[in-house]
Amino acid sequence: MPRTGLSPEEARQRAVEIAVVRIRENGFVKLRLADVAREMGVSHAALYGHFRDKAALLDAVTGHWLREARARTAVICAGSAPAAERIEEWFVTRYRIKSARALSDPEIFYGFNDATESERPVIRVYMQQMRRDLSGLLSEAGLGGEAEATLLEEALASFLHPALIGAGPKPEREDALRRLLRVLLAGLAASREGGT
């Protein structure tokens, strides 16, 4: 009966906000659409006007979280330091953000991990954006493009994949990441010289 007074876009945002709070409180797997709907002041069926199903709302939560994370790495791409330095900074920042969040926001992180395991489109899109960002840095550094970005992404999975990254940033892990990355960049540089 009484209209919500929110635009579709606002309603979506509001639902995601509420879901985030509920997930932090009760856990990712225990989120109930009924709770979100009640807190919005609508019937649970109304949510289906904004999200195809529960998975879509959960994806929206994950997507929101990933966009926040990307915002913090994207500024590095636009920096003025030498490209090689920015590449290292870019990866280290990703490591720090994810490991910190695995500790401070474990339930949302669980959702991220879950979406990754089940290869949800929201993850594919995020990975594509990250690959493009990295690809840009690599070509600035004269070290390659998309293919090399994919290669680096795979090589650093130990430090970035949600299933392998530990909870809480660890200096020794960060050092190991830097060492590995330098070997990789040296290897790409060498391949480039030899293989041209």
Partner DNA sequence: CCGATTACAGAATCGCAAAAATGTAATCAA
Partner DNA sequence: TTGATTACATTTTTGCGATTCTGTAATCGG
Does 11 contact DNA by CB under 7 A? yes
Closest to DNA by CB, 48 or 110: 48
Return the closest-CA partner of residue 40 out of 83, 86, 4. Answer: 4
What DSSP line would sit under 109-154, residue for residue? HHHHHHHHHTT-HHHHHHHHHHHHHHHHHHHHTTS-SHHHHHHHHH
Binding partner of residue 8 among a copy of itself, DNA, none, CB under 5 to 8 Å per kind? DNA
Q: Is the separation of the CB atoms in 77 and 86 below 8 Å?
A: yes
Does 48 contact DNA by CB under 7 A? yes
Does 26 contact DNA by CB under 7 A? no
Shortest distance, position 106 Cβ to DNA, whole Å: 19
Q: Is the separation of the CB atoms in 159 and 166 below 8 Å?
A: no
Does 81 contact a copy of itself by CB under 8 A? no
Binding partner of residue 142 among DNA, a copy of itself, none, CB under 5 to 8 Å per kind? none
Q: Of residues 21, 24, 55, 104, which one binds DNA by CB under 7 A? A: 55
Does 168 contact a copy of itself by CB under 8 A? no
In whole angstroms, how large is the CA radius of gyration of the chain?
Answer: 20
Tell me the angle at which helices 54-77 and 83-104 cross, rounded to the nearest 10 degrees: 140
Binding site for a copy of itself (CB under 8 A): 151, 154-159, 161, 163-164, 176, 179-180, 182-191, 194
Residues forming contacts to DNA in the complex (CB under 7 A) are 1-4, 6, 8, 11, 29-34, 42-46, 48-50, 53-55
